[in-house]
Amino acid sequence: MFTEDHRCGIVVASTIPGEAPSEKSLKTKGKHGDHEVRCVKRKLLLEALEMELPSGTIRYFSKVVSIEESGCFKWCI
C-alpha cells in the first residue's frame, strides 16, 4: 500500500460514511532532520522514567484540574 521507502505507516479510517480511508506515513522530515513515530507501551515508558527521575517526581492517579494551551502544547495542571 505504501510506496518508496514507506515501510512504516498506517491506514486511517474515516468516521464519515462514504469517505475513503487515508494512508499516513510514520516517517517525516522535520527542521532538525528525519523523524519516525514509534509505538511505546505507556507502562514501560513510565517505569523507565521513574527509575531515572528523583523520587516523587511522577505522581500516579492525580486529578487534572485544568489544561492550559500554549501554541501547539497543552499543559495539564
pTM: predicted TM-score of the whole model, two decimal places: 0.37
Q: For residue 49, is pLDDT > 50?
A: yes
Map out the domains of the chain as residue ranges: 9-76
φ and ψ of 48, to 5 deg = -65, -45
34-39 CB contacts, 8 Å cutoff, 24+ apart: 36/8, 37/8
pLDDT, tens only, 6-27: 456 778 888 888 888 888 777 7
Higher pLDDT, 36 or 48: 48
Higher pLDDT, 54 or 58: 54
